[in-house]
A and B are shown apart, each in its own frame.
Chain A
Amino acid sequence: MQKAFPLLATLILISALSFISAFSVGSISLSFEQIGTALFSDNKSMAQTIIWELRAPRAYIAYVTGALLALAGLLMQVLLRNPLADPYILGISSGSSVLALSAMAAGLSSFWITGGAFAGALLSVVLVFSLSHSNGSWQPSRLLLTGVVIAAGWGAMINFILSTSPDKPLRGMLFWLMGDINNITPELSSFIALIAGTIISIAIARQLNILSRGDLQAIALGVAVKPLRISLFLLASALTAFAVIQAGSVGFIGLVIPHMLRLICGSDHRLLIPASVLAGGSLLLISDTLARTIIAPQQLPVGVITAFIGVPFFLYLLNKNFDRQPIK
């Protein structure tokens, strides 16, 4: 508990800094003072327009999406009792994308796109879960393989949808798929989902600590494992779906953040959950600021940046994991 305050305070500070840098950096750079005036006064300046109409909505989406993904990754890792679980690697994001894209291509309303994203995420988790389960446990090799193959299957379906779609919405769909935060309107619903998800997760955090030590141990210590698992399923899928609707498939946040935090503060989920939310948001916001400045005036989809960070990290982790636990 004594570790909680300094860690969370640091992460809140990092979050604030990542917002300030997102507000200040861009084709027109703004000073700290200009940002202050723009945020806290009423006079219409150009700085105010730039921040409120361009940079703040985008920063908001990046932060919320990153936080959603980090939390979803953390919950999936407990669910599968494996530090390599991540909504992107296990094909959950792509499953979610497929159904959301189908709804988009069919010209359905945003309600159906949201519903499709959720159903796709849920379907993927169930598939990965049931196919890689054997002898009461999930072997890392089998889990990853199943996830990768399912992701490949979804990938094919995505290509099918794209190649049969009319030209007009195609570019938007493509960018959305790559994990793009540009040109989308911020929705309050994802923020509400994030807050609700965080509160629910913290409420069950001690049960998650116990569940991560195995089903039998959890039952022996009085945890009702089945209902807990089902709620984790639904929660992780919903969080992934909201992230996907906001920013398409952004990978590796859910993998990198919980792992780094475990190294810093251990595996107590009462601390890991709020810390992952704050750190995940910050990382994606910083990545997005990089994505729009690195080759300015050209913009990159933020998924490209997270993949550049995430892939080496994942390979390192995979290597370390299998050193300790040989493939069975």
Chain B
Amino acid sequence: MSLLSTKNLSIEIADKQICNSLTIEFMPGQCWGILGRNGVGKTTLLHTLSLLKKDYNGDIFLKEKNIQSYKRASIARLIGIQLQHNEDPFPSSVLDTVLTGRHPYLSNWQWESEADIEKAQAALETVEMKELSQRLVNHLSGGERQRVSLATLMTQNPEIFLLDEPNSHLDMNYQIGLLKYFSSYAYSDQRLVIMTLHDINLAARFCSHLLLLTGEGGYLAGSAEEILTTDNLQQTFSHPVEAIKSADRTIYLPA
């Protein structure tokens, strides 16, 4: 059974075609990477898949039921999305921010339980932010704030993770560590991860499947081995790409 699927999904923003008749089944245990040029619509597609944006044609199915038939809170228990931009207009601690991930599970008058706080602490430990848990989020660096967002998502603990450039602002060690963490969620826990990335090599290393948005609504989708050809990449990025084979993997470089 597919966790998430689209049927003839078409999205258009301000006369720009983001995707045209996109039909894909996202299965549990898969880690998808979405690649494409700047402004091609990667973020819009992620937002649409989690119904943050509703203006699309075609259908999106969540666990094989039309996503529009779900309540917001039920969607939030199944799909978690990390956004590219965070707004922190008021002072709030790192721990309080991460605890917002429990919101979909609590009723109106309910406070977070000890168990919820433990989940948040565990997530903070994973992203190595535990010492900063009482710090205010608006005083954090970009990379630290990004790790707080990812910890919030871990605390939300959905079946489907949508990540919008999860590696942005992060140092190399965190990029590799956190991408490994999320992709292993998919592989060992039978969840679904879909992330937009700019780095072909990170996508090649962590993703089992790829979706290339080639512009004007065109797309290529399939398993990573199938999709990662220099021709496809060249078509996607309008720039020749060179593949260099090393012992156990292939590195892609702009020619």
Which of A203, A206, A212: most chain B CB closer than 10 A? A206
Within 8 Å of chain A (Cβ to Cβ): is B47?
A: yes
A82, A209, A223, A262: the one within 8 Å of B72 (CB): A223
Chain A residues, CB < 8 A from B93: 266
Q: Within A192-233, which residues are at the interface with B (CB < 8 Å)?
A: 203-204, 206-207, 209-210, 212-214, 216-217, 219-224
CA–CA, A223 to B72, complex, Å?
6
Contacts of B169 in A (CB 8 A): none
Tell me whether B89 and A83 are in contact (CB under 8 A). Answer: yes
Interface string of B155-194 (1 = CB under 8 A from A): 0100000000000000000000000000000000000000
User: Is B86 close to A, CB under 8 A?
Assistant: yes
Q: Which of B100-108, B199-207, B223-231, B246-254 contacts A (4 or more CB under 8 A)?
A: B100-108
Partner of B104, one of A137, A209, A221: A221
Alpha-carbon distance between A214 and B91 when the two chains are bound, in angstroms = 14
Which residues of the partner chain B approach A221 to less than 8 Å between Cβ atoms? 76, 100-101, 103-104, 156
State A216–B103 Cα separation when bound (angstroms). 14
A214 to B, closest residue via Cβ: B87
**Residues of B contacting A207 in the complex (Cβ-Cβ under 8 angstroms):** 103, 108
Q: Would you give the shortest CB distance from B162 to chain A, in whole angstroms?
A: 9
A142 at interface, CB cutoff 8 A: no
Collect the chain A residues with CB atoms within 8 Å of residue B140's CB. none
- CB-contact partner of A83 in B50, B90, B100, under 8 A: B90
Give the Cβ gap from A257 to chain B, nearest Cβ, in Å.
14
Q: Which residues of A contact B91 (CB under 8 A)?
A: 262-263, 266-267
Would you call B100 and A209 a contact (CB within 8 A)?
yes
- Within 8 Å of chain B (Cβ to Cβ): is A28? no
Residue A55 at the B interface, CB < 8 A?
Answer: no
The yes or no answer to B243 lying at the interface (CB within 8 A) is no
Complex CA–CA separation, A267 to B100 (angstroms): 12
List, in ascending order, chain B residues with CB within 8 A of A219's CB.
51-52, 72
Q: Measured between alpha carbons, how far is A102 from B195 in the docked complex, in Å? A: 58
In the complex, 5 of the A-B residue pairs with CB atoms within 8 angstroms, ordered by the A residue number, are: A204-B108, A214-B85, A214-B86, A220-B80, A222-B75
Q: Is the CB of A210 within 8 A of B100?
A: yes
Q: Mark A233-257, 1 if CB is under 8 A from B, else 0.
A: 0000000000000000000000000
Task: Check A220 against B86 for contact (C-beta < 8 Å).
Answer: no
Q: Are B86 and A217 in contact, with the CB atoms below 8 A? A: yes
| Per-residue contact bits, chain B 64-96, to A (CB 8 Å; 1 contact, 0 not) | 000000011111110011010111111111001
Which of A203, A204, A207, A213 has the most chain B CB within a 10 Å cutoff?
A213
Report A71 CB to chain B, min CB distance, Å. 16
Most chain B CB inside 10 Å of its own CB: which residue of A82, A262, A263, A266: A266
In the complex, which residues of chain B have a beta carbon less than 8 angstroms from the beta carbon of A263? Answer: 91
Residues in chain A within 8 A of chain B (CB atoms): 1, 77, 81-83, 137, 203-204, 206-207, 209-210, 212-214, 216-217, 219-224, 262-263, 266-268, 270, 324
Given contacts A214-B86, A222-B72, A222-B76, contact A268 B103 (CB under 8 A): no
In the bound complex, do residue A210 and residue B103 qualify as a contact, i.e. CB atoms below 8 Å apart?
yes
Determine the chain A residues whose CB is within 8 A of the CB of B81 once the complex forms: 220
Contact between chains at A267 and B76 (CB < 8 Å): no
A228 to nearest B CB, angstroms?
10
**Interface residues in chain B, defined as those with a beta carbon under 8 Å from any beta carbon in chain A:** 47, 50-52, 71-77, 80-81, 83, 85-93, 96-97, 100-101, 103-104, 106, 108-109, 111, 138, 156
* Residues of the A chain whose Cβ atoms lie less than 8 Å from the Cβ of B108: 203-204, 206-207
Q: Say yes or no: A266 contacts B72, CB within 8 Å.
A: no
Q: How far is the CB of B6 from chain A (nearest CB, A)?
A: 19
Which residues of A sit under 8 angstroms from B72, Cβ to Cβ? Answer: 219, 222-224
Min C-beta distance of B75 to chain A, whole Å: 7
How far, in whole Å, are A263 and B72 apart by their CA atoms in the complex? Answer: 32
| B-chain residues with CB within 8 Å of residue A77 when the two chains form the complex | 90
In the bound complex, how far is the Cα of B126 from the Cα of A55, in angstroms? 59
Residue of A nearest to B109 (CB): A203
- Is B106 a contact partner of A206 (Cβ separation < 8 A)? yes
B49, chain A: closest CB distance, angstroms: 11
Whether the Cβ atoms of B96 and A222 lie closer than 8 Å is: no
- B96, A267: Cβ atoms under 8 Å? yes
In the complex, the chain A residue whose C-beta lies closest to that of B92 is A267
B74 to chain A, nearest CB (A): 8
- Contact present for A222 and B89 (CB under 8 Å): no
Interchain CB contact under 8 A, A212 and B90: yes
Whether the pair B103, A213 counts as a contact (CB closer than 8 A) is no
A223 adjacent to B103 (CB under 8 Å): yes
Contact at A216–B83, with CB atoms within 8 Å?
A: yes
Cross-chain contact A213 with B88 (CB below 8 angstroms): yes
What is the bound-complex CA distance between A223 and B83, given in angstroms?
A: 16
Nearest Cβ in chain A — how far from B204, in angstroms?
Answer: 28
- Are the CB atoms of B77 and A222 closer together than 8 Å? yes
Minimum CB distance partner of B75 in chain A: A222
Which A residue sits closest to B117, measured CB to CB?
Answer: A1
CA–CA, A207 to B47, complex, Å?
21
